[in-house]
Chain A
Amino acid sequence: MQFDLVSPERSLASHAATSVSIPGADGDLTVMAGHAPTITTLRPGLLKVEADGKSAEYVVTGGFAEINAEGVTVLAERAVARADMTQEHLDEMYQEAENMYKTAKDNWQNEPGPVDDAAKLLGDMVAMGSEIGLSTKQPSL
């Protein structure tokens, strides 16, 4: 199964893989050869790739994954190899999510939809932080 990870600025990985775990918007899903064709949006989280007994992990935010007969293509707005992930990176991402939440709260006072979405994004960001062993501030929702 072919695995591609592309960000707008460059292609990060393109090789064969045995399984790929994707942090989908509705929950994680693991893709192996022969998976049903699916398009899912991503939540901030860890993308795990198994290839030749080795595994690689990437931190991804924003974008989607396309699964078809040939393999998996993940298009992430931001993708960083887990080893390169630093506290600064996370802080920056967290700050962005928090700003988004604040503006959503200001702009959509009577509609809960976008505010909830932004709150979920913020929550996902915190969960991702703890998963990779870096800490974020606790959000005040």
Chain B
Amino acid sequence: MPSLKDLKNRIQSVKNTRKITKAMQMVAAAKLRRAQEAAEQSRPYTERFNAVMAGLAGSVGGSDNAPKLLSGTGSDQTHLLVVMTAERGLCGGFNANISKKAKAKAAELEAAGKTVKILTVGKKGRDAMKRDLGSRFVGHVDLTEVKRVSYPDAQGIAKDILGRFDAGEFDVATIFYAKFVNVVSQTPTAQQIIPFEVPAEAVADVDGSTVYDYEPSEEAVLADLLPRAIATAIFSALLENGASEQGARMSAMDNATRNAGDMIEKLTIQYNRSRQAVITNELIEIISGAEAL
């Protein structure tokens, strides 16, 4: 039976924890709004870009001399898994869900006799992937210093991946990130970026009625745009991830705050009961002492 003083300390410490989780929740809410705004503002670019890519890929993609980034190397032996997670924890299952999805994919590929290589973005994913699949680890992109993800960050990652592709290090690249659905739900998603796949909704929107002139030529435009398309895909994945992280943290911290509240309630009841017991005991002692006289 803990003493009254122990209980009091315990209650105070849970109260302090609750203050912290409450503050973290509010910070996450503010950051979430900003992250969502950033994602919103990048949407026009991504949409237009994908629309043009869909048109181009449709007309050039089928030909024999289509760029490798679009048609692939002709093999799918080596897979690069790009695992994008957060730099910080305390956001519920966010990081774990992404790495779990990536690990499942890695296991599936290896069971099929493929080679797996892993590149991570974000410290949490690196730790998780290194623990189980350390031997497949090929690199890590550090974004610890980055406060707000900007396009050049995505370009840097794309450049790294493209460099490895040009060097023949892998045949297929897939990015793993969490798509933001709403505050309580973020879906871990795998998206193939090399060979580049135009998002299905962009393909569906292709309007065949306008015939474009391409300058310098269709092939040249496509070759110029493909690396940018990959950077754009990575950029929107980073933004989605940013919003998802804050959403996950917000709901995790909301839960924590609520749990702390419940705990305080229980502890307070326990405290009051023990206090009452102590008083009763003292009374019994006094009365029996008086009777004995």
Residues of chain A whose beta carbon lies under 8 Å from any beta carbon of chain B: 4, 6-11, 24-26, 29, 36-41, 62-64, 66, 68-69, 73, 75, 77-78, 107
Contact = CB atoms under 8 A, between A and B. Distances in A.
B42 to A, nearest CB: 6
Contacts of B41: 9-11
B215 A25 contact: yes
Contacts of A68: 210, 212
- The secondary-structure label for the interface of chain A is strand
A39 B42 contact: no
Interface of B: 38, 41-42, 44-46, 48-49, 52, 56, 150-151, 154-155, 166, 210-216, 220-221, 224-225, 228, 231-232, 235
Given A6-B44, A73-B48, A41 B216 contact: yes
A64 B221 contact: yes
A69 B210 contact: yes
Given A62-B228, A63-B228, A7 B45 contact: yes
A62 B231 CA distance: 12
Given A8-B235, A40-B215, A69-B210, A64 B224 contact: yes
Contacts of A10: 41-42
A32 B133 CA distance: 57
A77 B225 CA distance: 11
A10 B220 CA distance: 26
Nearest to B42: A8
A33 to B, nearest CB: 16
Contacts of B38: 9
A7 to B, nearest CB: 7
Given A11-B44, A77-B151, A39 B220 contact: no
Contacts of A11: 41, 44-45
Nearest to B148: A9
Contacts of B215: 24-26, 29, 38-41
Given A10-B42, A63-B228, A39 B151 contact: no
A4 B56 CA distance: 21
B45 A39 contact: no
A64 B214 CA distance: 11
Contacts of B52: 39, 64, 66, 75
A7 B152 CA distance: 12
Contacts of A25: 215-216, 220, 224
5 contacts: A8-B42, A25-B216, A37-B212, A64-B224, A107-B166
A37 B215 CA distance: 11
A24 B214 CA distance: 11
Given A41-B221, A64-B52, A9 B216 contact: no
Contacts of A66: 48, 52, 212
A36 B210 CA distance: 10
Nearest to A67: B212
Contacts of B220: 25, 41
Nearest to A114: B166
